[in-house]
Amino acid sequence: MLLSKNSALESKDNEIFEVEESIAIQSELIKTMTTMVNSKAYVNERNQMVPEARCRKQANYHVEQNNKIVDEELSDWESKFFEVDMDDLHELFMAANYLEIESLLNGVTKRVGDFIKACKNVEVIRQTFGINNDFAAQQEEEIRKLNSWNHI
């Protein structure tokens, strides 16, 4: 097996992850970093500041994903990977967005989308995603009346 170049990524809490470069490059952010900074000069770059938990998840995600070649296996693995509680899902979501990893982002948005679709209550959405209700009571009531076809 060919030993590929590894890049070292340092997270915000100073933990260092060794990730195979081909996997690290799936993140648009890291890819940009490596093109901006001459990678020949900095073989083991420390060029990343990301909250630790997310970084680890990314590394795991990529390693696993690249090991699974068969489509069916991948989709099974993916559905298990994304079956986490909402807090973890948030972390993944933020990380995927920050690191700009498209495949991870697609997986997370699908899960989040399914969750929102199944939600019947506005309050649950607010609590889950930490959104403030900045409506005056009357305004909210007005909009709700206009959309009365919507409420089961």
Partner 1 sequence: MLFNVNHAILRFMADFEGNNRETLEDDFCLLEDSDLEGDVDERFYELPILSPKAKAKTPVDYNKALKYVDRKEAGLEDVLRDHALHLLPAKTLFRFKTVSRRWDQWISSPLFAHRQTTYFKNVSGLFCQVADHSPSFISFNQDAYGMPDPSLSFLPEPVKVRSSCNGLVCCQGIEEDTYYICSPVTKEWKKLPRPNLYHGAKAGVVLAFEPYLLNFNESYELVCAVTFSDYPVVYFEIYSSRSSSWRVSDTICYELDGSGLHDGGYYMKGVVHWESSSGVILAFGLRDEQYGFLPLPANDEGYGNGALAMKHGELCYIQPRYQDNVCTINIHGNMDMSLKSVINLPYDAGSTFGVCRALGFINGDILILGLGTRVISYRVKEQKVELISQHEGGACTRYIPYVNSLVSVRHPLIRDRGLIV
Q: Using alpha carbons only, how large is the chain's radius of gyration in Å?
A: 20
Nearer to partner 1, 1 or 26 (CB): 26
Q: Are 89 and 108 in contact (CB under 8 A)?
A: yes
Whose CA is closest to 9, among 38, 93, 27?
27
Does position 31 bind partner 1 by CB under 8 A? yes
Three state DSSP letters for 124-137: HHHHHHCCCCCCCH
When binding is defined by CB under 8 A, the residue of 16, 43, 63, 131 that contacts partner 1 is: 131
- Tokens 């068969």 label which residue? 70
| Interface with partner 1: number of residues (CB under 8 A) | 49
Burial of 50 from C-beta contacts in 10 A (0-12 / 13-18 / 19+): buried
Does position 130 bind partner 1 by CB under 8 A? yes
Does position 63 bind partner 1 by CB under 8 A? no
Does position 25 bind partner 1 by CB under 8 A? no
* Contact residues for partner 1, defined by CB under 8 A: 28-29, 31-33, 35-38, 41, 47-49, 90, 93-94, 97-98, 100, 105, 109-110, 112-113, 116-120, 122, 125-126, 129-135, 139-140, 143-144, 146-147, 149-152
